[in-house]
Amino acid sequence: MPNIDERNRMPNGAGAQGRFNGGFRGGFGGMGARGGANLKYTDDSPSSYSVIREGAVFKTTTDKDFEKVIEMIKNLNEGTNLDNYLDVDEILRFWAVNTFLVNLDGYSGGMYHNYYLYEENGKFTLLPWDFNLSFAGFGMNDASRAVNFPIDNPVTGSLEDAPLIGKLLEVPEYKERYHGYLKEILEKYIYSGVYENSINRINALIGDYVKNDATAFYTFEEYQKGVQAILTFGKDRAKSIWAQLDGTQPSTSYGSIETTLNLSDMGGMGGMGGGMQPPRNMQIPDGMPMPDGAQRPGRMQMPDGMQIPGRMQMPDGMQIPDGMPMSDGIQPPGNMQFRGGFVMFSDNRQSKNQSAVLILSVAAFVPGLIFVATFKRRKYRT
């Protein structure tokens, strides 16, 4: 989202005279349901929605302006006049894409973050971001569950705690439209070959560079496994969703479509450094000074009193946020632990698979392609 200096350049932006158009950031930093980030109605006090209020993009936003947010949240939870307060069609398109990709690093994964609310004339739409952990890259360690993730319960907790999808699915017309967008993804992007051809085209462009990269963070064979895993995910996920749509598989609980997918082949979040490992055979140049007490890579030592991340502990008193669901079978990736509303990563496993940067780049292209094409193109006045 643009900062305050950019607002006048936005179509119908907050600088437009005579009306308020606001941008609000949803939960951040793993805030869970606290501060109203899950969009559950509490009362009419702005303080009950502090995460959203403090995330206002435009610094000129007042409490009076914020009343529109509270009014929207109240009507969303009551299930009344939804079309008057939400751009329902665009939100349903988002949910179709997000559900196909099993992207749990956001509103659907119980942390209720990685989204913005954009308000124009009292009507809100969702601006999601941070899709790099799609393809069940966050919160999943079971390939069968990833492939069979239920389309009519596309959250890790309860739909009651996720009104932005739960309340929409209570409306038969919206549920049917949402199913239609899921079917459109399967027909236009999976069964038509667009998904596979896009991945193969990118692989053909970069494959030789990956193979000959002396500083790669993984082997070429691991990269090839990653590419194949993305293809397998798309094929088997489509099979599961089609079966859920036609009623031969459950759509509110995990089904039983078989898969040969190995989630670890697609990499993961890795450790504190974002999953990146030192390039193979990398040496510290001779003469490069090292900080006092630091060791060159190889036989690295930890400073006195510092423990190697792995089973990381949190300061006394910090707890998992209330309301953060971890459904049966849903686990943090690797040894990541949720504590006190923040995401902590452990770094005790040095798997090269977790360093598949280019594999994730290929993966990131596909959800972008599907999302941009499926999300309605919207024209704004200037």
pLDDT digits (tens, 9 = 90+) for 314-336: 434 444 444 444 444 444 444 44
Query: In this structure, are 94 and 202 located in the same domain?
Result: no
Query: In this structure, are 252 and 129 located in the same domain?
Result: no
One digit per residue, pLDDT tens: the chain, 382 residues?
333 333 333 333 322 222 334 555 554 444 455 689 999 999 999 999 999 999 888 888 888 889 999 999 999 999 999 999 999 999 999 999 999 999 999 999 999 999 999 999 889 999 999 999 999 999 899 999 999 999 999 999 999 999 999 999 999 999 999 999 999 999 999 999 999 999 999 999 999 999 999 999 889 999 999 999 999 999 999 999 999 999 999 999 999 999 999 999 998 664 333 334 444 444 444 444 444 444 444 333 444 444 433 433 443 444 444 444 444 444 444 444 333 222 222 333 333 443 344 444 455 556 565 655 555 544 433 3
Identify the residue whose tokens are 């502990």: 313
Identify the residue whose tokens are 């005279």: 17
Query: In this structure, are 51 and 30 located in the same domain?
Result: yes
Whether residue 193 is contained in a domain is answered as no
Whether residue 378 is contained in a domain is answered as no
Whether residue 94 is contained in a domain is answered as yes
C-beta separation of 156 from 139 below 8 A:
yes
Whether residue 143 is contained in a domain is answered as no
C-beta separation of 222 from 353 below 8 A:
yes
Q: What is the pLDDT of residues 208-258, one digit of tens each?
A: 999 999 999 889 999 999 999 999 999 999 999 999 999 999 999 999 999
Whether residue 219 is contained in a domain is answered as yes
Query: In this structure, are 338 and 208 located in the same domain?
Result: yes
Domain that holds residue 249: 198-281+320-364
Count other C-beta atoms under 10 Å from residue 170's C-beta: 13
Query: In this structure, are 182 and 269 located in the same domain?
Result: no
Out of 163, 188, 213, a domain closes at 188
Query: In this structure, are 165 and 36 located in the same domain?
Result: yes
Whether residue 160 is contained in a domain is answered as yes
Whether residue 292 is contained in a domain is answered as no
Whether residue 306 is contained in a domain is answered as no
Domains contained in the chain, number: 2
Query: In this structure, are 339 and 240 located in the same domain?
Result: yes
Query: In this structure, are 184 and 202 located in the same domain?
Result: no
Question: pTM for this one?
Answer: 0.69
Query: In this structure, are 9 and 108 located in the same domain?
Result: yes
Query: In this structure, are 210 and 177 located in the same domain?
Result: no
Q: Which of 153, 166, 65 is nearest to 117 (CA)?
A: 65
Query: In this structure, are 237 and 263 located in the same domain?
Result: yes
Query: In this structure, are 210 and 236 located in the same domain?
Result: yes
